[in-house]
């Protein structure tokens, strides 16, 4: 009973996600399908890469993650499937797996990539504009029903990678940037727990600065401060986040993804 996750920028009103499930269940009737997100900002591969990397570790072995954020649909960009550690990726070869690959290298996981170039594993008729339905959903279904990665396509060694911004060390800590604003208005940065090992030993001595706001001290959780207070803490996936207790930091501070954030101690 393979788990398949779906992430797209298709939204939820036009039926396109439902159609992908119809195609998958036509091939793999027992698959469990989890929607990861269909509200990725249109064509924002970087946002999809971030959510994929932080979500995949919580899925069972052999899960198949289908991600279709695909501005290049119908052009020369390769449709791809990959095995990264114990799980599979299916989607365009456009860098969506960049952060997951970095994790694989850190952890020593094995990786394998194929170009989905075998039409016998696609739908009979292929549109130029909806490979999610015509190529990727069938590929996920075939993986879930036991077809091997190697059967689905020709091996490749050079998947596309995004050039993602990395935090930089400063005199007194790290400078990173805001990489995601969530439904609650929490602001997540690319400064991670690995960068802050020293700082987290003395959380009251840490200062976080962004958009002119200075937050003195970090907390473990929201309940340590009063509703309405601006706080800095480690988010549930190991990134430094800035939040308003029971409120929205995004509404309070006019910040957008890409804006700088500084941590010092």
The residue from 14, 105, 168, 198 that contacts a second copy (CB under 8 A) is 14
Contact between residue 173 and residue 262 where contact means Cβ atoms under 8 Å apart: yes
The residue from 22, 119, 228, 258 that contacts a second copy (CB under 8 A) is 22
Nearer to a second copy, 127 or 148 (CB): 127
Helices (H), 56-136: 98-107, 131
Compute the distance between CA of residue 255 and CA of residue 247 in angstroms, rounded to an integer. 15
Distance in Å, CB of 82 to a second copy, minimum = 18
Interaction mask 80-99, a second copy, x per CB under 8 A:
--------------------
Pick from 60, 56, 67: which is nearest to 31 by CA?
A: 60
Measured between alpha carbons, how far is residue 164 from residues 30, 240, 258 in Å? 37, 17, 11
Residue 164 CB neighbour total at 10 angstroms: 14
Does 103 contact a second copy by CB under 8 A?
A: no
Does 73 contact a second copy by CB under 8 A?
A: yes
Q: Kindly state the number of chain residues that form the binding site for a second copy, as judged by CB under 8 A.
A: 66
Interaction mask 201-240, a second copy, x per CB under 8 A:
-------------------xxxxx--------xxxx----
Compute the distance between CA of residue 23 and CA of residue 130 in angstroms, rounded to an integer. 13
Nearer to a second copy, 14 or 168 (CB): 14
Task: State the number of CA atoms in the 13 A half-sphere of 246 facing the CB.
Answer: 6
Does 193 contact a second copy by CB under 8 A?
A: no
Compute the distance between CA of residue 81 and CA of residue 147 in angstroms, rounded to an integer. 12
Binding site for a second copy (CB under 8 A): 1, 3, 5, 7, 9-15, 17-19, 21-23, 25-26, 29-30, 32-40, 42-43, 51, 54-55, 58-60, 63, 71-76, 123, 127-130, 133-134, 180, 182-184, 220-224, 233-236, 246
């Amino acid at each position: 009973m393979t788990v398949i996750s779906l992430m797209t920028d298709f939204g939820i009103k036009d039926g396109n996600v439902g159609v992908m499930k119809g195609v998958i269940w036509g091939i793999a009737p027992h698959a469990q399908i989890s929607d990861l997100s269909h509200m990725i900002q249109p064509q924002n591969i970087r946002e999809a890469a971030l959510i994929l990397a932080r979500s995949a570790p919580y899925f069972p072995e052999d899960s198949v993650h289908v991600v279709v954020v695909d501005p290049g649909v119908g052009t020369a960009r390769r449709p791809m499937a990959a095995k990264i550690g114990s799980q599979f990726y299916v989607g365009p070869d456009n860098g969506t797996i960049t952060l997951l690959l970095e994790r694989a290298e850190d952890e020593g996981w094995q990786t394998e990539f194929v170009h989905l170039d075998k039409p016998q594993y696609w739908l009979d008729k292929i549109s130029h504009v909806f490979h999610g339905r015509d190529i990727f959903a069938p590929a996920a279904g075939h993986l879930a029903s036991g077809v091997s990665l190697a059967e689905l396509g020709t091996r490749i060694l050079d998947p596309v990678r995004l050039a993602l911004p990395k935090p930089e060390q400063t005199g007194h800590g790290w400078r990173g940037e805001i990489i995601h604003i969530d439904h609650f208005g929490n602001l997540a940065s690319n400064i991670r727990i690995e960068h802050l090992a020293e700082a987290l030993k003395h959380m009251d001595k840490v200062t976080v600065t962004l958009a002119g706001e200075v937050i003195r001290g970090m907390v473990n959780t929201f309940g340590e401060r009063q509703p309405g207070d601006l706080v800095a803490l480690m988010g549930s996936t190991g990134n430094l986040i800035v939040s308003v207790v029971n409120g929205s930091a995004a509404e309070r501070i006019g910040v957008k993804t890409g804006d700088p954030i500084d941590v010092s101690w």
